[in-house]
Amino acid sequence: MGFATNAIHVGQEPDPATGAIVAPIYQTSTYVNEELGKNKGYDYARTNHPNRKALERTMAKLEGGHSAYVFTSGMAGIDAVFRLLRPGDHVVLSEAVYGGVFRLSTQLLVHFGLEFSFVDTSMLEAVRMALRPNTKMLYIETPTNPTMNVTDIAAISKVAGERNITVAVDNTFMSPFLQRPIEHGAHIVVHSMTKYLNGHSDATGGAVVLTRPEDAEKIYFIQRSAGAGLAPMDCFLVSRGIKTLAVRMLQHNANGITVARHLDAHPKVRKVYYPGLPSHPHHEVARRQQKGPGAMLSFDLGSVDAARRFLNHLQLCSLAESLGGVETLVSLPALMTHASMPKEVRERVGITEGLVRLSVGIEDVEDIIADLDQALLYV
């Protein structure tokens, strides 16, 4: 079956009890035992429930994994992935990683004996040089948030395979519609389902997709033990959003390309970071492993004052955290999503105070451009 068909039907079959085309929301905390030691597959909603199990089937199918588990947020899922490691293990991460991952690793997980190195994973030799005898995982964002660097997943996976290192890829920016890391050799894929998968800015959630049964068993143990499984209503909302993922991503992608080209030619914009532009240093890698460049881009306005004037005069586009919704969202990473990252680190990886991140929505693209243009008059 094709992607859109799987997104609509896998894990979203009609309710066998009533024939309802949309399965019910099992808004219950516990399940009655038929007799002692015998139930119908569920006992307590923290450990599992039908809405979660259905969404996990959908995610495993769309990413091409063995199994999947869904969490209360993308960060909860990422935390679970790092819990596969043991004290003394070393992780190599993309240097321009999401600020929440930087905070989790450098301010929390290091206290449990894990070691982290941040490198430009788009540079294969830099990755090789960062590897140590105790390196157990390569954690990659591609494209990176918000600098839009692209890592060659197949090349990284080959290097990892030589040393039996696990490759985990954050696929939030692309969604499985535009990029499927497992096809390029990744072992684990993580998502903030809050973003494109849900697509409507009305639920939070995270997903971890696994290729190896032994990893899946451990992730499930972590999920039910730590109590971070996604609740029924949120599972329902994400499942509903996924049904339109294919058509939404087609429009997101088309709008993203149009807006990126427009901003690239705008005299007030110093530089646009978007893999869909031929001028992007990783354009060919992106073309090879992505179905399209997507709707995430960043552009530099030169200073925080210029960025502030621009952001404060937007009318249609919304100044807000998050991304991937049907509406266009704009943020200033240095003061928002990456504020927890030390200034010297931000500057080293290219997150300047004038760098604006844009999540292009699916509104009429002419209206998006008109709003950006009128706000740029104040720069």
Q: Average pLDDT, whole number, for the chain?
A: 96
Check whether 378 has a pLDDT greater than 90.
Answer: yes
Of 46, 103, 212, 240, which is the active-site residue?
46
Q: Which of 12-16, 180-184, 337-341 has the lowest mean pLDDT?
A: 337-341
Q: Which of 242, 268, 301 is the last residue of a domain?
A: 242
Residues 48 and 164 in one domain: yes
Residues 257 and 151 in one domain: no
Residues 231 and 267 in one domain: no
What does the pLDDT read at residue 341?
A: 87
Greater confidence (38 vs 174) lies with 174
pTM of the predicted model as reported, rounded to 2 decimal places? 0.96
What amino acid occupies position 144? T
Could you read off the pLDDT of 318-331 as tens digits, one per residue?
Answer: 999 999 999 999 99
What does the pLDDT read at residue 177?
A: 98
What range defines the domain where residue 52 resides?
Answer: 3-242
Residues 127 and 166 in one domain: yes
Q: Average pLDDT of 32-40?
A: 89
Helix (H) or strand (E) run with residue 181 in it: none
What does the pLDDT read at residue 52?
A: 97
Residues 346 and 225 in one domain: no
* pLDDT band (50, 70, 90) for residue 40: confident
Q: Tokens 């894929």 identify what position?
A: 189
Check whether 17 has a pLDDT greater than 90.
Answer: no
Could you read off the pLDDT of 42-69 as tens digits, one per residue?
Answer: 999 999 999 999 999 999 999 999 999 9
Could you read off the pLDDT of 208-222 as tens digits, one per residue?
Answer: 999 999 999 999 999
Residues 233 and 249 in one domain: no
Q: For position 272, which CATH number holds?
A: 3.90.1150.10
Long-range Cβ contacts of 320-323 (<8 Å, 24+ apart)? 322/194, 322/195, 322/201, 322/359, 323/173, 323/195, 323/296, 323/357, 323/359
Could you read off the pLDDT of 118-142 as tens digits, one per residue?
Answer: 999 999 999 999 999 999 999 999 9
Helix (H) or strand (E) run with residue 190 in it: strand 188-192
Residue 220: active-site member: no
The C-alpha torsion from 124 through 125 and 130 to 131, rounded to 10°, is 80
Residues 282 and 367 in one domain: yes
Residues 115 and 208 in one domain: yes
Residues 195 and 335 in one domain: no
Give the closest residue to 298 by CA, choosing from 150, 151, 148: 148
Q: Which of 217, 242, 267 is the last residue of a domain?
A: 242
DSSP 8-state class, residue 101: H
Residues 199 and 276 in one domain: no
Give start and end residues of each alpha helix (H) in the chain.
3-9, 50-63, 74-82, 99-107, 124-130, 153-162, 175-178, 213-226, 232-242, 245-264, 283-289, 304-312, 343-349, 365-376
Of 61, 195, 248, 346, which is the active-site residue?
195
Q: Average pLDDT of 98-123?
A: 96
Residues 227 and 267 in one domain: no
Question: 14: how many CB neighbours lie within 10 A of its CB?
Answer: 12
Residues 83 and 215 in one domain: yes
Instruction: In whole angstroms, give the CA distance from residue 112 to residue 280.
Output: 38
Q: For position 187, which CATH number holds?
A: 3.40.640.10
Kindly state the tokens that stand for 108. Answer: 């929390």
Residue 195: active-site member: yes
Burial of 162 (0-12, 13-18, 19+ CB in 10 A): exposed
Indicate the number of domains in the chain: 2
Q: Which of 184, 216, 242 is the last residue of a domain?
A: 242
* pLDDT band (50, 70, 90) for residue 259: very high
What does the pLDDT read at residue 110?
A: 96
Q: Tokens 């929301």 identify what position?
A: 25
Percent of the chain with pLDDT strictly greater than 90: 93
Instruction: In whole angstroms, give the CA distance from residue 211 to residue 160.
Output: 15
Instruction: In whole angstroms, give the CA distance from residue 311 to residue 203.
Output: 25
Q: Tokens 């494109």 identify what position?
A: 196
Of 26, 31, 69, 98, which is the active-site residue?
98
